[in-house]
């Protein structure tokens, strides 16, 4: 059966997360239902990462096996037709080898978190950013973030229910950029690693926001990391500002 990689964009607001669920809407569920409209049978797709309820994606990657030899462009167009009106889009499809796997072939995941500092309520970006009112110190947040780059035991920054075999991960990059917005400032956190723990990004950003607000000193982030204790973590920020921004592979199936 031909295997296809799918690059997927979605708004996570209406969904209980990526993973298929029996009694709640999921991104996986609506894509599998669209596939069943093309080839009537039960379908099961695998993704590079399982985003939580309310988390968005700019470039999630999944793969599916089909009986028909589809032209990738036609497959993407057909799926997008059947995905309406859900806020899910197949940005691109590509034919891949039978042993290619969206999750296990991936070398890195990239996440974006958007934090808006503004007193007036967000309107166009409601549900797409985490909004706070107090001013933040960018350089303090960058100093605190530097303590997290590298290979560490991230027990402090993972959810209690995390199912990963080990809390030890290598965070390859965390950068923070500042953008002017109407009567406010947006901070964009970019994180890159081979894989992440459950709630790791939201735990890190929530902690760094406390640093930016002056409630924590930058060195407190290093102390929290060394504690290897979930209780030492700052608040976990809401999911609406988080995006799966990209997945890296040794050979990108969507190029060439």
Active-site residue among 52, 137, 153, 172? Answer: 52
Catalytic annotation on 251?
A: no
> Coil, strand or helix: which one is 225?
helix
Give the torsion through C-alpha atoms of 187, 245, 129, 131, to 10 deg: -40
Report the interhelical angle of 218-227 vs 200-213 (nearest 10°): 140
β-sheet bridge partners, residue 101: none
Q: Name, in order, each residue with C-beta under 8 angstroms of 85's C-beta and a sequence gap of 6 or more.
A: none
Give the torsion through C-alpha atoms of 72, 48, 129, 124, to 10 deg: 10
User: How is residue 61 written in tokens?
Assistant: 């990657």
User: How is residue 70 written in tokens?
Assistant: 């589809």
Residues assigned a catalytic role: 52
């Amino acid at each position: 059966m031909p295997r296809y990689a799918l690059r997927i964009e979605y708004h996570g607001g209406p969904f209980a997360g990526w993973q298929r669920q029996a009694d709640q809407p999921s991104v996986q569920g609506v894509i599998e239902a669209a596939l069943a409209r093309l080839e009537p049978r039960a379908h099961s797709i695998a993704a590079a990462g399982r985003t939580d309820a309310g988390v968005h994606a700019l470039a999630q990657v999944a793969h599916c096996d089909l009986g028909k030899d589809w032209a990738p462009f036609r497959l993407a167009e057909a799926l997008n037709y059947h995905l309406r009106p859900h806020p899910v889009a197949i940005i691109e499809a590509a034919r891949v080898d039978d042993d290619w796997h969206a999750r296990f072939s991936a070398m890195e995941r990239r996440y974006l978190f958007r934090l808006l500092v503004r007193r007036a309520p967000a309107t166009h970006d409601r549900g797409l950013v985490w909004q706070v009112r107090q001013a933040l110190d960018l350089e303090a947040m960058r100093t605190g973030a530097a303590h997290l780059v590298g290979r560490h035991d991230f027990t402090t920054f993972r959810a209690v229910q995390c199912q990963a075999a080990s809390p030890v991960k290598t965070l390859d990059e965390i950068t923070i950029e500042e953008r002017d917005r109407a009567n406010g400032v947006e901070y964009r956190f970019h994180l890159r690693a081979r894989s992440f723990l459950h709630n790791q990004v939201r735990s890190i950003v929530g902690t760094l926001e406390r640093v930016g607000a002056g409630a924590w000193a930058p060195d407190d982030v290093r102390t929290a990391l060394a504690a290897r204790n979930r209780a030492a973590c700052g608040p976990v920020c809401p999911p609406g500002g988080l995006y799966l921004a990209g997945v890296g592979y040794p050979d990108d199936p969507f190029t060439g």
